[in-house]
Structure 1
């Protein structure tokens, strides 16, 4: 399996993708007109959590506060960004408050035991009381839609996180007036699994064309014990690595570089993490004098 970055990668410089989860879009999907898509996203624009709201999600401008547009188009590609705000409550704080109220309830009612229904009601009351005092945390996830080649890329190394973003995208598209076939996506399937491909590259000491294997790797035994070997900042062109693979260990993470331009970590689920542009790319951007607010499509 070779995951070659496209020659024109539509990434805003001010929020370079750090991870990538890849999905294949069903062939019958047609991207709505950008004006209609913008209007639909505006209706689901991000709003901060209310005082007793544990979580809120909505669409924000990919360029940040310097732009009000929620849809950015680069050529025939589309960039969008979902923002999520949470009010996390420490489980220990909730438990302590619930225990305290249950004890108070026992004293006031003279009961020795409290039923499950009452405990549930007390816990709900505690959460409603604590939420307004909880600090909020925000995170944003960028997605890239390629309607021509039917690809969707989500800036996360977590399938759970990617599924959440995809769900919001499905919702907003399905609610558009006169919506055609809804967007249907599934994780990209390759003819050769990422784990098998990485094992071959390591054992043969030969990476695909324009790729190099770097100095970080994780090998794991696919059994109940899941014994693990990790190499960090260590050459992988040694017999020991091949011996681990021959013994049955499977590569689950492998650091690589594409074309001396982009470094990343490939996982056994075919996700890419820790994406980083190397100096040769950044120097070229500076020499071209590109504006920080612009989209760098040549990385």
Structure 2
């Protein structure tokens, strides 16, 4: 359940649905496996998996929900190969190659026939909703996936007004300043050993396991490049890769926090286990986001942000 990535959104709805109403809304769109002739289907599933039917976990105003999506895997190469064979058979039968419309009809028929035989792959994406701070965080690597989860939630709830979380100062400029002026770094910020630098020529320099205060990085910055990604650690909370669009990647929670989670007495109860993890994780994420917002000049006026 511990998040690996985080896309952040500010919630602008004046009222948050009570827990029971939100649970009922999700239940009306509960995940069901794809049918034999369906290519894709999504719905809400229990964060605790098979151990529970509970669709929403809430601890101290923090809610955890999960979107499941199942897709039948039908490789385009398989379709193409089978289609060519059928087109060849049709050509031999009628004496001329099938026209474009006939070929498309053959392809559609072929897909319908092959779908029931295709393997189904299920992916899940978790969403953390801090109802007190009016913040949503989605655990996924791509912005497209995050937006699809928001779309599903919006359809389920009837409406959902959110914008990507944004700050006042350009993040690339702030990260670069941290590197060129160590005295500007906040007390609890530790610079990591991974970086991505972009220049005006759109060229990208990526470095891993490198001293970012060393001459090589400083020379690249002096030539006009800025940090577009930077590995950092917030002491006592977590490590992460901060991107210039405020997406947080490669989250690594503090060992003391993980030890606390592992040592918690849940008596084998999966519900208590996930609620304990949620409380600890959400507390760390809230602290990290608040510190980052402060370090990056404060939150941008929501009126300036672009709605999703």
TM-score > 0.5 by shorter chain: yes
Change in CA separation of 1:293 and 1:80 when aligned onto 2, cut-off 3 Å: closer
2:14 is matched with 29
- 1:261, CA displacement in angstroms? 3.4
Counterpart of 1:246?
222
Q: Cα distance, 1:138 vs. partner? A: 1.3
Assess, with a 3 A threshold, how the Cα gap between structure 1 residues 18 and 247 changes in structure 2: closer, same or farther: same
CA distance in 1, matches of 2:273, 2:239: 22
Unaligned 5+ segments in structure 2 are: 267-271, 285-308
Match of 2:156 among 172, 175, 193: 172
Per-residue CA distance 1:248-299 (angstroms, 9 max, x = gap): 3332321111114311111222101111123222223344445634323234
- 2:27 matched to 1:42? yes
Task: Work out whether residues 54 and 86 of structure 1, in 8 Å CA contact, stay in contact via their aligned partners in 2.
Answer: yes
Q: Map Cα deviations across residues 178-198 of structure 1 (whole Å, 9 max, x no partner).
A: xxxx21112112111222222
Q: State the Cα distance separating 1:164 from its structure 2 match.
A: 0.4
Q: Name structure 1 gaps, 5 residues minimum.
A: 1-14, 175-181
How does the TM-score come out when normalised to structure 2?
0.83
Q: Which one has more relative contact order, counting CA pairs under 8 Å at least 6 apart? A: 1
Q: Secondary structure at the match of 2:73?
A: coil
Q: Distance in 2 between matches of 1:156 and 1:123?
A: 33
The answer as to 2:85 corresponding to 1:100 is yes
1:218–1:230: 8 Å Cα contact kept in structure 2? yes
Q: Superposition pairs for residues 46-85 of structure 1, below 5 Å?
A: 46-85=31-70
2:70 and 2:121 in contact (8 A); partners too: yes
- State which of 177, 180, 192 in structure 2 corresponds to 1:200: 177
SS in 1 for 2:119: coil
TM-align CA RMSD: 1.9
Distance 2:132 2:5 in 1: 22
Structure number having the greater helix percentage = 2
The residue aligned with 2:125 is 141
Query: Residues of 1 paired with 2:157 and 2:92: CA distance?
Result: 54
Q: Residue 292 of structure 1 aligns with which residue?
A: 273
User: How many Å separate the matches in 2 of 1:33 and 1:143?
Assistant: 17
Alpha-carbon distance, 1:222 to partner: 4.5
Change (3 A) 1:89 1:194: farther
Secondary structure of the structure 2 residue equivalent to 1:254:
strand
1:153 aligns with 2:173: no
Rounded Cα–Cα distance in structure 1 between residues aligned with 2:237 and 2:130: 22
- The offset of 1:211, in angstroms, is 1.6
Q: How many residues align?
A: 274
Q: Check 1:250–1:76 CA distance in 2 against 1; reply closer, same or farther (3 A cut).
A: same
